[in-house]
Chains A and B, each alone.
Chain A
Amino acid sequence: MTRLRPADHGLEPVIPAERVYAPERVPGDGEVNAQVCVIGTGAGGAVVGKELAERGLDVILLEEGLYYTAADYAGDTPMRSVRRLYRDHGFTFTMGIPNILMPLGKCVGGTTVINSGTALRMPEWAFRRWQLEHGLEALSWRELQSLYERVEPPSGVGPVAEELLGENSKIFRTGSEKLGYSGEVLTRNADGCKASGRCFLGCPRNAKRSTNVSFVPRALELGARLFTGARAERILLEGGRVVGVEASVDAPGERRRRRLTVRAPNVVLAAGAVLSPLLLRKSGVGRQHRHAGKHLRIHPASRVVGLFDREIRGQFDVPQSYHLTQFLEQGLSLEGIFVPPAVLAPAMPGFGAHHAAMMRDYDRMAMLGYRIIDQPSGSVGPSVAGTPIVWYDIGREDTRKLLRAMSLSAEILFAAGALRVFLPVAGRELLTNIDEARAFAHLEIPAADIEISAYHPHGTLRMGSSPDTAVTDIEGRVFGTKGLYVADASLFPESSIVNPMMTIMALASHVGQRMQA
Chain B
Amino acid sequence: MLTEPERRIIRALAGAMLPMREELFRGVDVAGSIDDFMQGAPAALTLSTRLAIWAVELGPLAWGFGPTRFTSMDREQADRYLSRWDRSPRYTIRSLFFALKVVVMGLVYDRPEVEADFCRGRG
- Listed in ascending order, the chain A residues whose CB lies under 8 Å from chain B are 77-80, 83, 88-89, 91, 97-99, 311, 313, 315-316, 340-346, 350-353, 355-356, 359-360, 362-363, 387, 426-427, 448-449, 451
Instruction: Report yes or no: A426 in contact with B110, Cβ–Cβ below 8 A.
Output: no
Complex: A272 Cα to B106 Cα, angstroms: 27
- B contacts with A: majority SS: helix
Q: In the complex the two chains form, what is the Cα distance from A292 to B45 in whole Å?
A: 27
Contact between B19 and A353 (Cβ–Cβ < 8 Å)? yes
Task: Provide the residues of chain B in CB contact with A342, threshold 8 Å.
Answer: 105-107, 109-110, 115
Measured in the bound complex, the distance between the Cα atoms of B118 and A356 in whole Å is 9
B26 within 8 A of A: no
Given B16, B40, B42, B121, which contacts A351 in the complex, CB threshold below 8 Å?
A: B16
Q: Which residue of B lies closest to A196 (CB)?
A: B122
Say yes or no: A88 contacts B41, CB within 8 Å: yes
Q: Does A356 contact B115, Cβ atoms closer than 8 Å?
A: no
Residue of A whose beta carbon sits closest to that of B115: A341
**Further contacts, 19 of them, CB under 8 A, given A345-B105, A351-B101, A352-B79:** A83-B40, A89-B40, A97-B91, A99-B95, A313-B119, A340-B109, A340-B119, A341-B115, A341-B118, A342-B107, A345-B106, A346-B105, A352-B16, A352-B19, A352-B82, A356-B18, A359-B118, A448-B91, A449-B91
| B17 lies within 8 A of chain A by Cβ | yes
Query: Are B112 and A346 in touch, CB under 8 angstroms?
Result: no
B119/A98 in contact, CB under 8 A: no
Interface residues of B (CB under 8 A from A): 16-20, 37-38, 40-42, 45, 79, 82-83, 86-87, 91, 94-95, 98, 101-102, 105-112, 114-115, 118-122
Whether B111 pairs with A77 at a CB distance below 8 angstroms is yes
In the complex with contacts A83-B37, A340-B115, A359-B118, A89-B106 CB distance below 8 A = no
For B16, the chain A residues whose CB sits under 8 A away are 351-352
Which B residues are CB-close (under 8 A) to A451? 98
Q: Is the CB of A363 within 8 A of B115?
A: no
With contacts A341-B118, A346-B98 known, is A88 near B42, CB below 8 A? Answer: yes
A89 touches B37 (CB 8 A): yes
Q: Which 8 pairs between the two chains have the least Cβ-Cβ distance?
A: A342-B110, A79-B110, A342-B109, A345-B105, A341-B109, A346-B102, A346-B101, A448-B91
12 residue pairs of the A-B complex, CB under 8 angstroms, read: A78-B110, A80-B110, A83-B37, A91-B41, A311-B120, A313-B122, A342-B107, A345-B101, A346-B106, A352-B18, A360-B118, A362-B118
* Contact yes or no, A98 B115, CB < 8 A: no
- State which of B45, B79, B106 has its C-beta within 8 Å of the C-beta of A343: B106
Evaluate contact between A316 and B121: CB separation under 8 angstroms. yes
Q: How far in angstroms is the closest Cβ of chain B from A504?
A: 26
Contact between chains at A345 and B109 (CB < 8 Å) = yes
CA distance A360 to B118 in the complex (A): 6
Residue of A nearest to B111 (CB): A77
CA A91 – CA B79 in complex, angstroms? Answer: 27
CA distance A353 to B18 in the complex (A): 7
Known: A91-B45, A98-B91, A360-B118. A351 touches B86 (CB 8 A): yes
Query: Closest residue to A197 on the B side, CB-wise?
Result: B122
Query: How far does the alpha carbon of A346 sit from the alpha carbon of B120 in the complex, in Å?
Result: 20
Residues of A within 8 A of B37 (CB): 79, 83, 89
